A and B are shown apart, each in its own frame.
Chain A
Amino acid sequence: GNSVTQMEGPVTLSEEAFLTINCTYTATGYPSLFWYVQYPGEGLQLLLKATKADDKGSNKGFEATYRKETTSFHLEKGSVQVSDSAVYFCALIMQGGSEKLVFGKGMKLTVNP
């Protein structure tokens, strides 16, 4: 079936450090790819998305590029802030199929000042 694998945490970084969160997917068709974020005490919210190969999603200094050849959608940020502390989820939806999101397990990031 369709699935998402993302690197497991928790991860602790210092402010201004570089962040990469790896995400790879397995899909029988053509997926759209998403990163969702859950800040402490808040609900899930979309961080960025990409719907076709080589598209780059970006938001709040975060970027991720849809790589079909490596079935990956790694999340990067050049300089993290304390306010980026959250749980990050990679997810996919199969285009042309059911509209259900398939999530990875999530990775908790803590950024220290």
Chain B
Amino acid sequence: GAGVSQTPSNKVTEKGKYVELRCDPISGHTALYWYRQSLGQGPEFLIYFQGTGAADDSGLPNDRFFAVRPEGSVSTLKIQRTERGDSAVYLCASSLKGVLGTDTQYFGPGTRLTVL
């Protein structure tokens, strides 16, 4: 596809359940990023992949959050034992190389997660 895609666009779950959020980056982009945006706030960094490996996971809030990118393309963000405080829009972005701090990151439309 032409842009970053994310599925599902909306996810409603109950407290304590497990969820997976998927991101398809722009073809050929080696760097992939996950951010979380709460209402009225700017996006906050969660994790950054360079190829298949997590180059920086310092933004993951706790060990309930985990992300993978096994083949260096599609990525899945996994949240275990969801809590109401996890409710937010989860954004995925990709960039061509993700080096030198000058690449443009292209964002997907986001997945709105609501934990009841």
Q: Which residues of A contact B100 (CB under 8 A)?
A: 95-96
Q: Do A101 and B35 have beta carbons less than 8 Å apart?
A: yes
Q: Nearest residue in B to A100 (C-beta to C-beta)?
A: B45
Q: Do A97 and B101 have beta carbons less than 8 Å apart?
A: yes
**Stretch of A14-22, A39-47, A62-70 with 4 or more beta carbons under 8 angstroms from chain B:** A39-47
Contact with A along B96-108 (1 / 0, CB 8 A): 0011111111111
Taking residues whose C-beta sits less than 8 angstroms from the other chain, chain A's interface range is 20 to 34
Q: Do A51 and B102 have beta carbons less than 8 Å apart?
A: yes
Q: Do B104 and A99 have beta carbons less than 8 Å apart?
A: no
Name the distance in Å between B51's Cβ and chain A's nearest Cβ.
Answer: 13
- Tell me if A98 counts as interface (CB < 8 A to partner B): yes
Report the number of A-B residue pairs with Cβ-Cβ less than 8 Å: 75
Q: Do A44 and B43 have beta carbons less than 8 Å apart?
A: yes
- Tell me if B56 counts as interface (CB < 8 A to partner A): yes
* Selected A-B contacts with CB under 8 Å, 26 pairs: A31-B101, A32-B102, A34-B104, A43-B107, A43-B110, A44-B43, A44-B93, A45-B106, A45-B107, A46-B106, A51-B102, A89-B43, A93-B101, A98-B48, A98-B55, A99-B50, A99-B55, A99-B95, A99-B98, A99-B101, A100-B45, A100-B58, A101-B45, A104-B42, A105-B40, A105-B42
| B contact residues vs A (CB 8 Å cutoff) | 31, 33, 35, 40-45, 48, 50, 55-56, 58-59, 91, 93, 95, 98-110
